[in-house]
């Protein structure tokens, strides 16, 4: 793992290349990553409200009173990192030398704060160097995240085993799903909190991509249909985000068709290989192609970056037709991104399968270096929802290989009903 000193050195080297002797950071995930600190000021995200002003010699952290312990502050001071009152950021900027060159990310700092700078300060506009650095997980971080995915997958096995033995015998609502899935994660080592509010939508509620159950909308899960569950966890060794759709009763032919087409979209992008530096938004069409061929589409992006025990939505990469393919969106080794196409039938059902993937080296040829995806998420895909006639042999092989991996990685972590559910759910098709 990288130390604070190593991360600060990386940023300072970039400051020199850009001709900046000062750097202001206001994005909380960048600050948390750079200083190897975490907090609890923002729901679901282990960050703290702060500003950071640094030069080649020292760092000033502007943070609320009482948020840094005396022991931690002493250790920070030893590394030339000094805590200041959060409200003093404008005073510090106003005290910059008149000929200072200040690096800021114009998309991640407010205009009002920058107005405090002396008129002669040269503004250098560029993406925060830390944004790219933190998006590229090193080998140690990647291995920690794999372990977090195993614990998360084991928690989901326990949840789905409970769900399967309870459905039809007791009333289960969408809010019950949220409660039980959070409880299953909380029993796992390293768990800190959910990474966002669980989306559990049955039938028509699942057709709303950002639905959250309320006491007024809370549906009872019964009869026939599809249940969409989008959830995630913050662990000390990683951040998870997963969506699965499960059959309730007997799915219809139309539901199986939609599910199978959506699964084809997931597999298409999961198995893609592309040159290092490909702009992430350009990959969006790979997932959409199987849906477009069937006259289908979805309105949201296909994937977002994910932090390391940080924000569940991070950049700079973003697989979305809505995102401009700017240089900072280039795909690099070590990035973690979601793959989550969808099909939504308003008033009927919604289908979204989501896995997190890691950028790993692919082929190297006379045409350059390539990237492929390693699927990190470990949880069975409900084969009861599949119309196998819609899939080709390569897609069937991908599902079987994925399920074999899921079983081998999770089986040592579960017992009893959870193990039995895992074994049933990963049988080859």
Shared-domain flag, residues 129 and 254: no
The domain that contains 344 carries what CATH number? 3.90.230.10
Shared-domain flag, residues 229 and 113: no
CA distance 339 to 335: 13
Q: Report pLDDT digits (tens) over 22-31.
A: 999 999 999 9
Number of domains the chain is built from: 2
Domain containing residue 89: 4-134
Shared-domain flag, residues 154 and 299: yes
Shared-domain flag, residues 213 and 107: no
Average pLDDT, the chain: 96
Shared-domain flag, residues 128 and 235: no
CA distance 386 to 384: 6
Shared-domain flag, residues 130 and 158: no
CA distance 334 to 79: 28
Residue 345 has pLDDT above 90, yes or no: yes
List 230's β-bridge partners, or say none.
199, 243
Shared-domain flag, residues 93 and 201: no
Residue that is last in its domain, among 113, 134, 155: 134
Shared-domain flag, residues 282 and 167: yes
Q: Write out the DSSP string of 374-392.
A: EE-------GGG--GGGS-
Shared-domain flag, residues 222 and 109: no
Residue that is last in its domain, among 75, 106, 134: 134
CA distance 29 to 31: 5
Give the torsion sign (CA, 171, 177, 178, 181).
Answer: positive
Across the range 253-258, mean pLDDT stands at 98
Q: Check residue 70 and give its pLDDT.
A: 94
pLDDT class of 134 with cuts at 50, 70, 90: very high
Q: Report pLDDT digits (tens) over 384-422.
A: 999 999 999 999 999 999 999 999 999 999 999 999 999
Q: Report pLDDT digits (tens) over 17-73.
A: 999 999 999 999 999 999 999 999 999 999 999 999 999 999 999 999 999 999 999
CA distance 77 to 429: 59
Q: Check residue 1 and give its pLDDT.
A: 75
Residue 316 has pLDDT above 90, yes or no: yes
pLDDT class of 131 with cuts at 50, 70, 90: very high
Residue 354 has pLDDT above 80, yes or no: yes
Torsion region of 194: left, alpha or beta (phi above 0 gives left; psi -120 to 50 gives alpha)? beta
Shared-domain flag, residues 331 and 304: yes
The domain that contains 123 carries what CATH number? 3.40.350.10
| % of the chain residues with pLDDT over 70 | 100
Residue that is last in its domain, among 108, 134, 160: 134
Shared-domain flag, residues 284 and 346: yes
Shared-domain flag, residues 109 and 122: yes
Q: Check residue 222 and give its pLDDT.
A: 94
Q: Write out the DSSP string of 199-214.
A: EEEEGGGGGSTT----
Task: State pTM to two decimals.
Answer: 0.95
């Amino acid at each position: 793992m990288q130390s604070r000193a190593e991360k600060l050195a990386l940023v300072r080297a970039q400051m020199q290349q850009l001709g900046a002797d000062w750097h202001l950071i206001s994005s909380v995930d960048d600050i948390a990553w750079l200083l190897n600190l975490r907090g609890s000021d923002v729901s679901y995200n282990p960050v703290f409200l702060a500003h950071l002003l640094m030069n080649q010699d020292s760092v000033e952290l502007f943070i609320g009173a009482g948020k840094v312990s005396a022991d931690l502050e002493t250790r920070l001071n030893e590394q030339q990192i000094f805590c200041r009152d959060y409200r003093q950021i404008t005073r510090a900027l106003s005290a910059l030398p008149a000929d200072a060159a200040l690096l800021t990310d114009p998309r991640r700092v407010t205009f009002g704060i920058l107005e405090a700078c002396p008129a002669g300060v040269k503004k250098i506009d560029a993406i925060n160097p830390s944004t790219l650095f933190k998006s590229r997980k090193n080998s140690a971080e990647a291995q920690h995240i794999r372990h977090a995915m195993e614990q998360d997958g084991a928690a989901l096995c326990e949840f789905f085993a409970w769900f399967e033995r309870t459905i039809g015998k007791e009333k289960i609502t969408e809010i019950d799903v949220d409660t039980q899935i959070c409880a299953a994660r909380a029993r796992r080592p390293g768990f800190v909190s959910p990474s966002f509010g669980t989306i559990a939508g049955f039938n028509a509620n699942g057709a709303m991509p950002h639905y959250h159950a309320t006491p007024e909308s809370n549906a009872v899960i019964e009869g026939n249909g599809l249940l969409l569950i989008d959830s995630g966890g913050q662990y000390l060794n990683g951040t998870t985000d997963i969506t699965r759709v499960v059959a309730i009763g007997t799915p219809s032919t139309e539901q199986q068709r939609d599910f199978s087409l959506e699964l084809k979209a997931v597999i298409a992008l999961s198995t893609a290989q592309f040159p290092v530096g490909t702009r992430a938004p350009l990959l969006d069409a790979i997932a959409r192609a199987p849906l477009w061929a069937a006259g289908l589409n979805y309105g949201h992006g296909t994937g977002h970056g994910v932090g390391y025990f940080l924000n569940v939505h991070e950049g700079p990469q973003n697989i979305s037709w809505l995102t401009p393919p700017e240089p900072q969106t280039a795909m690099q080794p070590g990035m973690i991104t979601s793959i989550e196409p969808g099909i939504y039938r308003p008033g009927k059902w919604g289908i979204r399968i989501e896995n997190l993937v890691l950028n790993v080296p692919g082929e190297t040829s006379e045409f350059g270096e390539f990237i492929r995806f390693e699927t990190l998420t470990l949880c069975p895909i409900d084969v009861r929802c599949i119309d196998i006639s819609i899939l080709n042999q390569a897609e069937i092989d991908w599902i079987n290989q994925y399920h074999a991996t899921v079983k081998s990685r999770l089986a040592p972590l579960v017992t009893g009903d959870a193990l039995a559910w895992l074994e049933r759910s990963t049988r080859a098709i």
